[in-house]
Structure 1
Amino acid sequence: MNRIQAVILDWAGTTVDFGSFAPTQIFIEAFHRAFDIDITLEQARIPMGLGKWQHIEALGKLPEIDICWQNKFGRSMNNDDIDAIYATFMPLQIAKVVDFSAPISGVIQTIAALRTQEIKIGSCSGYPRAVMEKLVPAAARLGYSPDYWVASDDIPAGGRPGPWMALQNVIELSIDSVASCIKVDDAVPGIAEGLNAGMWSVGVVLSGNEFGKTWDEYQTMPHDAILELRQKAAAKLFAAGAHYVIDTLADLPQLIGVINDRLAKGERP
């Protein structure tokens, strides 16, 4: 009860795929292929962290996309439309996800450091199982392999922002207190997931969806531009309820010491 026993990590933007580009680019392509509707990268990022069917549903409710739908079809997006886009999205995502499976800089070293402290490594994702079955072994070949993973469609009750994927990790990893867990995520629904599960919720800024830059773009950005975008991304994650924000997962071990001190004083999330 007085120390962190497990961290439950998101995938794209948190442990792999710096900038979370695999899902966002595929949403753009799926909308175009299925209905010849063009959405922007910024729009595609807005519901990030939800299950992918729910992500498409949320995109259809954005006022600017709903207007496009009304103009083209004389109505709003319906479930048949969502199913059609999802059916287009899935094979594209399955084919492309391995190209975005490289662990983010510092992740492999961080996982090794956590394991020396006997901290278990859980994970969950907005990806469905069919995508995760391609991503997990690809990431393992490159050095990242959590102790457990669960996909958004594995849980009958649904995915984020509900607590169920995070709690499934607690069960499978045999953790005796949710207060001894940290949920780490780069998107708002994932922060809510951790809070709803009764865990410490930590947002990831620089490698994640809210910052939204590739590694190469980040490396060439002016310092002032980095600070401005970082502050904006951190503010959004704090507004969602994050207890802390970090730049990348490499900052997590130091933060665990801070949280352990709070647990030892009897504090809880």
Structure 2
Amino acid sequence: MFAALDITAVLFGLRGCLVQSANGSPLPAPGALETLASLRQAQIPCIWLDDLETLHSKRLASVLPEWLPGQSANGVGWPAPNACWQALMSLGSERLEGSVLVSGEPKLLQSGLNAGLWTVGLAGCGPSCDLASAQWQAMTQQEQDLARGKATLALFRLGVHSVIDHLEELDTCLADIALRRSKGEKP
């Protein structure tokens, strides 16, 4: 799926992006395990980022593959770019070009923009579209669509390069970023 892409690394937000909480227990987000497996098969390095304490982050990440490294912010608050740069360094990434951050968390996305990364916002995973919340479950389909639309607009206003609803759409989004890069576009 990702084999022909010129993507050097993919950084993911942990909460809401790769992991969701159901009744207090962490679960992989829809499409997370398949996306990670495809990226690994294509030999594209991946890492998760979170701003929680390390122990809490590791508990959430326990539902993800063991091979996937992660990094807590370690006191460096978002939107500072440091966490993104440190994550790339821990992956041994040789260059910033072609690195992509995927998240629904606006502060983390701003951190990625500040670091000079391509950014993909997840409209269906952001704070206003928490699929596991009782408030979201109580909404009609029309209300959910409206909330997702507002989240999409907010992410574009933030300056992200692409917006998708869920991780299942990431392959076409990364292909679009690779195409934009091949035409000389920079983040």
Classify the TM-score, shorter chain.
0.7 to 0.9
Is 2:155 the counterpart of 1:205?
no
**1:263 counterpart = 2:187:** no
Residue 249 in 1 paired to residue 170 in 2? Answer: no
Distance apart, 1:217 and its partner CA: 6.8
Deviation at 1:210, TM superposition (A): 2.5
Unaligned runs of 5+ in 1: 23-98
The alignment of Structure 1 onto Structure 2 pairs a total of residues equal to 183
What's the counterpart of residue 147 of structure 1?
68
Quote the offset at 1:254 in angstroms: 1.1
Q: Name structure 2 gaps, 5 residues minimum.
A: none
After the TM superposition, which residues 102-141 of structure 1 pair with which residues of structure 2 at under 5 Å, given as runs?
102-136=27-61, 138-140=62-64
Identity level (%): 26
Structure with greater proportional helix content? 1
Q: CA deviation at 1:179?
A: 2.3
Tell me, what secondary structure is at the counterpart of 2:108?
Answer: helix
CA contact (8 A) 1:203 1:242 kept: yes
Residue in 2 that maps onto 1:230: 148
Secondary structure of 2:174 counterpart: helix
Q: CA deviation at 1:133?
A: 3.2
Letter paired with 2:70: W
Matched letter for residue 117 of structure 1: A
SS of the residue corresponding to residue 13 of structure 1 reads coil
Answer whether contact 2:10 2:102 (CA < 8 A) is retained. yes
Deviates more, 1:210-219 or 1:222-231: 210-219
1:216 & 1:114 partners in 2: Cα distance?
33
Preserved contact between residue 148 and residue 169 of structure 1 (Cα < 8 Å): no
The structure with the largest strand share of the pair is: 2
**Corresponding position: 1:10 with 2:16:** no
SS at structure 1 position matched to 2:120: strand
**Secondary structure at 2:16 match in 1:** coil
> How far is 1:215 from its partner?
7.2
RMSD: 2.3
Give a deviation string over 1:209-257, Cα, whole Å, max 9, x none.
1213327876774332222111111111111111111111121111111
Alpha-carbon distance in structure 1 between the residues aligned to 2:139 and 2:166: 17
Q: CA deviation at 1:147?
A: 2.9
In structure 2, how many angstroms separate the alpha carbons of the residues matched to 1:15 and 1:103? 6
Work out the CA distance in 2 between the residues paired with 1:109 and 1:127. Answer: 25
In structure 1, distance between residues paired with 2:25 and 2:156? 27
User: Does the 8 A contact of 1:205 with 1:211 survive in 2?
Assistant: yes
Distance 2:133 2:38 in 1: 23
Q: Secondary structure at the match of 1:127?
A: coil
TM-score scaled by length of structure 1: 0.62
Q: Distance in 2 between matches of 1:118 and 1:164?
A: 24
d(CA) in 1 for partners of 2:27, 2:69: 18
Q: Retained in 2: the 8 A contact 1:187–1:210?
A: no
The Cα shift of 1:145 comes to 4.3
Q: 2:63 aligns to what SS in structure 1?
A: helix
Determine the C-alpha separation between the residues in 1 that align with 2:133 and 2:31. 13
Shift of 1:174: 1.7
User: Taking structure 1 as reference, are residues 229 and 112 closer, same or farther at Cα in structure 2, changes over 3 Å only?
Assistant: same
